[in-house]
């Protein structure tokens, strides 16, 4: 190889390395780059896969329509997704990377308070707009006063109250003894440690057990044994999916079948029912979306997901799809990729999306209406409120 050729190879290699290191070439002037850190592996991967689909669909629709007009020129949207492996530290570093290397103009959120808030704090510091679902509003609001981060999801007190209201209206007859089991994550502590005990009292229940466990706990033998010995007929659980599956299996193996079993968070994704089979029947979970709700595009969204993936849809496709649409609408409305202008446009959002009506309040939150869902034959049906009902209440737990 001649010296000249060697020099060219060296220069090319250095340029390639520099491109990787400094993100050169990550964005072209005629492209709008947005990004997201998502849990595509680890315990929350069940949520991440649905969110990824929702984000990608919204972006694909915009690009199919020709992109977004910026300064009179239509620009395609590029979505960069990084896997945070269900690790808040990775969510934060992914967000840093999206900003510094990928040069995103705005971002979409991860899932659960731990992951969303970790990335949101980085976005807030960098003054880059971030729209997210999948972060319960109280947990989101408790972090700080947000300026650049926006959250559309359910409100924990409303979700927590939904099952109590549903049981009362549906006439579920129990001995009114409740066992509460919750993880020690931020939302687990809020819902299981504070809101549920207070609501139980208001609705005339006696809390016979309130047990907290680490998020990665796998053994629940003594917790289950204690609830059984205290005669709890209503069990409320707040845990992520692997724990939710372990709890249901261990309850059955311990011969403990309460009349009502409600599992928040972990019982949402379809993998919960797939892993449990008929053991998932009768389990309640609060929900904020179902394809039967009368929102524009709701039914089509679910059908599109199921035909594309051959999987059963989840409510997480709706908030993620809507979050991406809100961000893309804001970029279009701003007609600019300037983060300040995009942020101002997000603030003005007032529209009914497939997930429901979205209008952000002064805390940068948009509250989604709650329904009570129940797993029946591997699918969820709405059992409350009556106006939205899509199936009969299966009671007691089989």
The smaller minimum CB distance to other proteins, of residues 13 and 229, is found at 229
Query: Hey, is 260 helix, strand or coil?
Result: strand
Q: How far is the CB of 273 from other proteins (least distance, A)?
A: 11
> Smallest Cα–Cα separation from 181: which of 134, 133, 122, 248?
248
Nearer to other proteins, 196 or 353 (CB): 196
Question: Please, which residue, 169 or 306, has the CB nearer to other proteins?
Answer: 306
Residue 32 contacts residue 337 (beta carbons within 8 Å):
yes
- Of 265, 281, 87, nearest to 181 (Cα)? 265
Q: Among positive and negative, which fits the CA dihedral 196, 293, 140, 247?
A: positive
CB of 243 to other proteins, least distance (A): 9
**Shortest spacing between CB 287 and other proteins, in angstroms:** 20
Question: What's the closest the beta carbon of residue 219 comes to other proteins, in angstroms?
Answer: 5
Residue 19 vs 219, nearer CB to other proteins: 219
- Mapped onto helix, strand or coil, the DSSP state of residue 169 is helix
* Closer residue to other proteins (CB): 45 or 98: 45
Q: How far is the CB of 358 from other proteins (least distance, A)?
A: 29
Q: In terms of Cα–Cα distance, which of 106, 143, 57, 47 is closest to 364?
A: 143
CA–CA distance, 225 with 234 (Å, rounded to integer):
14
3-state secondary structure of 206: strand
Q: Report in angstroms how near the CB of residue 278 gets to other proteins at its nearest.
A: 9
Question: Nearer Cβ to other proteins, position 7 or 219?
Answer: 219
What lies within 8 Å, CB to CB, of 297 at 6+ separation is: 353, 354
Q: Which of 398, 372, 395 is nearest to 166 (CA)?
A: 372
Does residue 385 have a cis bond before it (omega within 30 degrees)? yes
**Is the peptide bond prior to 382 cis by the omega test (within 30 degrees of 0)?**
no
Task: Spell out the alpha helix ranges (H) of the chain.
Answer: 3-22, 45-64, 88-100, 113-126, 137-141, 156-169, 186-188, 196-202, 221-229, 241-253, 270-276, 298-309, 316-334, 339-347
Report, in Å, the least distance between residue 279 CB and other proteins.
Answer: 6
Strand order from edge to edge, sheet including 106-108: 68-70, 73-83, 31-38, 106-108, 130-132, 149-153, 365-367
Closer residue to other proteins, CB minimum distance, 46 or 129: 46
Q: Least distance (Å) from other proteins to the CB of residue 111?
A: 13
In terms of CB distance, is 278 or 359 closer to other proteins? 278
Least separation, in Å, of the C-beta of 231 and other proteins? 12
Strands 177-183 and 284-287: unpaired
Helix (H, G, I), strand (E, B) or coil at 224: helix
Sites of contact with other proteins (CB under 8 A): 40-43, 45-46, 48-49, 184, 211-214, 216-223, 225-226, 228-229, 241-242, 245-246, 249-250, 252-255, 271-272, 274-277, 279
Nearer to other proteins, 305 or 360 (CB): 305
């Amino acid at each position: 190889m001649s010296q000249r050729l060697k020099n060219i190879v060296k220069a090319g290699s250095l340029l390639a390395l520099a491109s990787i290191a400094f993100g050169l070439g990550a964005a072209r002037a005629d492209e709008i780059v947005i990004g997201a850190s998502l849990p595509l592996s680890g315990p929350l991967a069940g949520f991440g896969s649905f969110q990824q689909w929702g984000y990608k669909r919204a972006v694909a629709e915009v690009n199919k329509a020709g992109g977004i007009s910026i300064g009179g020129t239509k620009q395609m949207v590029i979505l960069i997704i990084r896997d945070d492996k269900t690790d808040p530290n990775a969510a934060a570093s992914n967000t840093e990377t999206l900003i510094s290397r990928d040069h995103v103009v705005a971002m979409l959120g991860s899932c659960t308070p731990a992951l969303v808030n970790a990335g949101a704090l980085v976005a807030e510091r960098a003054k880059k707009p971030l729209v997210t679902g999948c972060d319960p509003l109280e947990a989101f609001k408790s972090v700080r006063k947000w300026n650049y981060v926006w959250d559309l999801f359910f409100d924990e007190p409303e979700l927590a109250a939904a099952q109590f209201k549903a049981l009362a209206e549906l006439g579920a007859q129990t001995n009114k003894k409740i066992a509460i089991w919750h993880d020690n994550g931020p939302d687990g502590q809020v819902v299981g440690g504070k809101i549920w005990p207070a609501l139980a009292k208001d609705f005339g229940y006696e809390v016979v057990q309130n047990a907290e466990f680490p998020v990665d706990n796998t053994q629940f033998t003594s917790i289950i044994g204690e609830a059984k010995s205290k005669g709890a007929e209503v069990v409320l659980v707040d845990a992520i999916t692997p724990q939710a599956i372990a709890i249901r299996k261990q309850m059955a193996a311990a011969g403990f079948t309460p009349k009502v079993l409600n599992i928040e968070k972990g019982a949402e994704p379809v993998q919960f029912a797939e892993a449990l089979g008929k053991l998932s029947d009768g389990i309640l979970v609060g929900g904020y979306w179902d394809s039967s709700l009368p929102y524009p595009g709701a039914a089509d969204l679910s059908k599109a997901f199921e035909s594309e993936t051959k999987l059963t849809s989840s409510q997480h496709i709706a908030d993620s799809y809507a979050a991406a649409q809100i961000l893309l609408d804001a970029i279009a409305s701003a007609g600019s990729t300037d983060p300040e202008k995009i942020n101002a446009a997000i603030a003005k959002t007032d529209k009914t999306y497939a997930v429901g009506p979205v209008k952000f309040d002064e805390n940068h939150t948009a509250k989604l209406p709650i329904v009570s869902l129940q797993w029946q034959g591997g699918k969820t049906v709405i059992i409350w409120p009556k106006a939205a009902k899509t199936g009969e209440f299966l009671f007691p737990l089989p």
